[in-house]
Amino acid sequence: MHRAAATQPDARTAERAAIRSRIMIFAMAAPLLAQCIMVVAMLTQGQWLFAVMIIPGTVGCLASLLVAVPWPSAASNHTAASMPQDRGISDYATTDVIDGSLAGKPAENIRFDAPASPCLEELMGFGRLPWRTIVARWLAQPDFAVPIGMSATGPLLIDLQRQGPHALVAGTTGSGKSVLLQSWCLALAAMNGPDRLNFVFLDFKGGSAFRPLEALPHTVGSVCDLDLTHAARALRALEAELTRRERLVAESRSHQLDDLTAPPPRLVVVIDEFHALKDQLPDYIGRLVRIASLGRSLGMHLIACTQNPAGQVSADMKANMAISICLRVRDAMQSIELLSDGRAAALSPAMPGAAYCNDCATVSALRCAATDDIDACCQQIALAARFMAMTPSPPLFTAPLPTQVEVTKQSPNCNRLWFGLADDGIGLASATVPVFSGNIGIIGPLGRGKTTVLQTIAQQACCIPATDVRCSILMRDGWQTTRRHNNPMPVSATQAAPPHVPRTLWLVDDADSLFDPFNTDPFASTFRQALADPTTSVVFAVASCRHVRVPEHCVTRIVFPCGDRSADLLAGIPAPLLACLSRNDLNTPGRGVLIDGANALLVQCAQ
């Protein structure tokens, strides 16, 4: 009686598993049947070329179907006879390491056993004073083999440097992907100091997953999908960092970054919801593919996380991702993509963190470790960095230009004057113009901030320390009054030497009519003579560049885009930079483009 009652749930479980298996086979057989019908129809109509094009896809569907069909074998019959066929994850009991020879075996015949994992703090052995344990590990040799969870044989260690260099994590919503990424990053940070390891976080799930980890001294950048402009800067910065490391290796004539005397820290780029990044920033995926192909020798690692690995990660990236961790997925095809069989689709939703790890040698079942208190762990790691007098790593990129920049007192320079902030697409720096190296044109429609730029340059020019520079500023207000300011000041020994020829600086607003060749105003003639005078620098503001000749009238320009592509290109804004300007850039007062010789930078002028 008791045996009959005990076997009844097993029979129901086996029946449910058989139904799921039939549904999966039907779902895979339907496309195969449709393609076969198309081939027959095309052969009947004599369209041989189209039929030949469809046949390879038909063969692929047939192969996938044959892999998914649970073929009976002596081994499986023996297993069925010796133990109940319960498909529930909570009732699986076998070893966690599955030999590669079982790849392709039906998922329902592969059983899972991994004990519940303790918290990360316990796995790392933090004890009562975690920062002391962290300091001791930072003083030892670099070690990237860290525990991420428990297997049947003990803590499961993943070495991103030796087993990687890159990893792909897959799992449906609620399976525990973000928790795994958090624990993995915290374990790496606890084993390696910020002088050996840095992080860049790309969170395309609103930024909630990595926000606590931004406090780590290892973090050199963190962005989310709420600001795609900032995310694009991060991807450009990663490509620039890859190029910089290539140059370091080439200049030292080494084979890899570790051969350098003082190599830069290893950089781990962690991407949550990779499919969202691909959808929202498709033009930047090539940069990540390049990191995946060259990162091993340059000390750069990728950990990409996605809900559906099938079709989302390109073959070029996947070829370099030797570590695959698959949590619970919705269908067998997603599991097959990473594990070569559908075992991860059988994981129970009641067990978040249950996963399989494929390192190309074995497939291990594990229960991922969670962190009891992420903020406390980050604080302990930061405390260890302060104890060792380690400064936080400098950011790899900065935030985009702000909408407003306050006028601040800058260190005086005899040759360049500050007027705002410049953005090279990765970082921000002071925007300056060479006032004694030629004329400067400020071009843009009314209301964009031309007069404000003139006023800022006038304020900065009054502070120029010089002995043989006649810093005379002629400001023309409403064509009626002029102001003249002489401010000779001694130059210190540490400052750049001023020009040897006395110079005059003119600042002229609303100078459009002065460029008109038919203007007979005496001041217009004086203005045109000043433009050609090598001892006079003219900073003029015009609404249109129709009469402005480059480089005769000016080499350096500050152009405020008007939104008309033809007019903006004519003013000198390069087409690639113009294509990057958003509607917000066009509507922000003071947002312009600094063109200094062959360089063009987006700038925000001080107000």
User: Residues at the annotated binding site for ATP?
Assistant: 171-178
The residues near 376 (Cβ < 8 Å, ≥ 6 apart) are: none
> Distances from the Cα of 548 to the Cαs of 447, 452, 513, in angstroms?
20, 21, 11
CA 212 to chain centre: 18
Which tokens hold the place of 408? Answer: 């601040």
d(CA 306, CA 177): 8
Report strand pairing: 416-423 vs 428-434: antiparallel
532/552 Cα distance (integer angstroms): 8
Backbone phi and psi for residue 559, each to the nearest 5 degrees, phi listed first: -110, 125
Nearest CA to 462 among 443, 435, 441?
435
Token pair of 244 as six digits: 């910089």
Determine the Cα–Cα distance for residues 531 and 536; give it in Å rounded to an integer.
7
Token reading at 434: 């060479």
Q: How far is CA 450 from the centre of its chain?
A: 35
Give dist(CA 215, CA 208) in Å, integer: 13
Q: Which long-range contacts (CB under 8 A, 24 or more apart) does 127-130 make?
A: 130/190, 130/377, 130/380
Closest CA to 68 of 382, 423, 416, 335: 335
Please report, in range form, the residues annotated as the binding site.
171-178
In whole angstroms, what is the distance from residue 228 CA to residue 219 CA?
19
**Encoded tokens for 411:** 């260190």
Please name every residue paired with 507 in a beta bridge, in sequence order, or none if there are none: 475, 539
Q: What are phi and psi of 193, to 5 degrees?
A: -75, 170
CA–CA separation, 178 and 591 (whole Å): 38
Please write down the long-range contacts of 545-552, taking CB distance under 8 Å and 24 or more positions apart. 545/441, 545/443, 545/570, 545/571, 545/572, 547/512, 547/515, 547/516, 547/517, 548/441, 548/443, 548/515, 551/438
Identify the CA nearest to 202 among candidates 309, 146, 276, 299: 276
Q: If you search the block for the tokens 């790691």, which residue do you land on?
A: 381
Here the contacts of 33-37 (C-beta below 8 Å, separation 24 or greater) are 35/61
- Output phi, psi for 431, to 5 deg: -95, 120
Burial class from Cβ neighbours inside 10 Å (0-12, 13-18, 19+) for residue 255 reads: exposed
- E strand or H helix at 46: none
Note whether 254 and 260 are within 8 A (CB): yes
